[in-house]
């Protein structure tokens, strides 16, 4: 199945705009609940429990690879076991590799082998810094996607992304760099339907501009809800076609709930339910 079909089907059929971020760093896990075992088993056991508690509440999972790679080959093996568990048990839910692997040419073949084959992801996430060469070698494979960080949620995202640039085709026309990036992606990069974009909820004006530029069809993954300060009301009107072309990643607030009651993974589920409800409300408004 095409990546974009899988993603849109999941957005439509799950009815949930929630993407659960499995940034399961070993040193923060409630290891007392994980029955010991190797590093691989501890991380995988935690992830399985989170997935079991959330899979019917979300449309996708995203993992930041840094949180696994920090723990060496065992961390990566735990990640691989997690993606293959997801593929087997929840084959309709796409899995995003938040990895900033912005390679080009020959090295993209290597990233495909790492991210899609070895680690089993559906979609790789890249920065646009090096231009279209970064996505070109992904366009021949519709079964996998490539998602571009257009405007991130962190404080210094504005340092370059918000700079006012001159359109090289019409120098009198000026626009913010992130908007120009969104234009290039939408008009020239996404020639085979498998490119999507990421933007931060902490910059609602940029997010809204990006939706206007990429149109109603293209899925947008949104970061920055919750601890980073994003307000779900800023999502009103930005969900795109059929209100199912936008989804929101939440990681820490779900996998490390603030007040884990008697049962940790019940608290995980409750947290996911609450966030899903907030997002569903924003969609309905």
Instruction: Indicate the residue among 48 and 252 with the shorter CB distance to a copy of itself.
Output: 252
φ/ψ of 277, rounded to 5, equals -65, -45
How many CB atoms are located within 10 Å of the residue 130 CB?
12
> What phi-psi label fits residue 242: left (phi over 0), alpha (psi between -120 and 50 degrees) or beta?
left
| 147 DSSP β-pair partners | 125, 196
Distance CA 185, CA 180 (A): 9
Q: Which is closer to a copy of itself, CB of 63 or CB of 238?
A: 63
The secondary structure of residue 225, as a DSSP letter, is B
Backbone phi, psi, residue 57, to 5°: -110, -5
Which has the closest alpha carbon to 235: 192, 285, 178? Answer: 285
Q: How far is CA 45 from CA 50, 65, 249, in A?
A: 9, 17, 22
- Smallest gap from Cβ 133 to a copy of itself, in A, equals 4
Catalytic residue selected from 9, 48, 87, 100: 100
* In the complex, minimum distance from the CB of residue 271 to a copy of itself, in angstroms, rounded to a whole number: 18
Please name every residue paired with 200 in a beta bridge, in sequence order, or none if there are none.
Answer: 223
Choose among 137, 152, 141, 61: nearest CA to 100.
152
Nearer to a copy of itself (CB atom), residue 17 or residue 120: 120
Rounded to a whole number of angstroms, the minimum distance from the CB of residue 262 to a copy of itself is 28
Residue closer to a copy of itself by CB (options 114, 122) is: 114
Least distance from C-beta 252 to a copy of itself, angstroms? 9
100 in catalytic set: yes
The secondary structure element, H or E, covering residue 98 is strand 95-98
Taking the least distance from each CB to a copy of itself, the nearer of 77 and 282 is 77
Strand partners, 195: 146
Q: Which residues bind a copy of itself (CB under 8 A)?
A: 23, 25, 64, 66-67, 69-73, 76-77, 100-105, 107, 109-111, 113-114, 118, 127-134, 136, 149, 152, 154-161, 163-166, 168, 171, 174, 177, 180-181, 184
CA distances to 140, 193, 274 from 252, rounded to whole Å, are 35, 31, 14
Q: How far is the CB of 102 from a copy of itself (least distance, A)?
A: 5
* Active centre residues (catalytic): 100
């Amino acid at each position: 199945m095409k990546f974009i079909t899988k993603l849109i089907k999941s957005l439509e059929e799950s009815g949930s705009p929630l993407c659960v971020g499995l940034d399961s760093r070993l040193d923060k896990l409630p290891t007392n609940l994980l029955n010991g075992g190797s590093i691989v088993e501890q991380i995988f056991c935690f992830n399985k429990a989170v997935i079991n508690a959330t899979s019917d509440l979300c449309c996708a999972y995203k993992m930041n690879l840094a949180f696994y790679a920090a723990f060496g080959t065992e961390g990566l093996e735990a990640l691989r076991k997690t993606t293959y568990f997801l593929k087997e048990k929840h084959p309709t839910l796409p899995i995003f590799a938040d990895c900033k692997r912005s390679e080009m040419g020959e090295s993209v073949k290597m990233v495909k082998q790492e991210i899609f084959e070895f680690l089993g992801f559906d979609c790789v996430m890249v920065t646009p810094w090096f231009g279209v060469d970064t996505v070109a070698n992904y366009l021949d494979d519709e079964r996998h996607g490539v998602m571009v960080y257009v405007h991130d949620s962190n404080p210094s995202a504005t340092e370059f992304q918000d700079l006012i640039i001159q359109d090289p085709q019409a120098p009198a026309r000026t626009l913010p760099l992130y908007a120009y990036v969104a234009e290039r992606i939408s008009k020239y990069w996404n020639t085979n339907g498998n490119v999507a974009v990421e933007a931060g909820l902490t910059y609602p004006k940029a997010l809204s501009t990006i939706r206007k530029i990429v149109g109603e069809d293209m899925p947008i993954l949104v970061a920055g809800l919750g601890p980073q300060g994003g307000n779900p009301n800023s999502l009103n009107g930005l969900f795109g076609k059929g209100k199912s072309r936008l989804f929101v990643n939440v990681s820490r607030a779900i996998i490390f709930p603030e007040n884990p009651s008697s049962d940790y993974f019940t608290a995980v589920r409750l947290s996911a339910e609450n966030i899903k409800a907030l997002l569903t409300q924003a969609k309905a408004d």
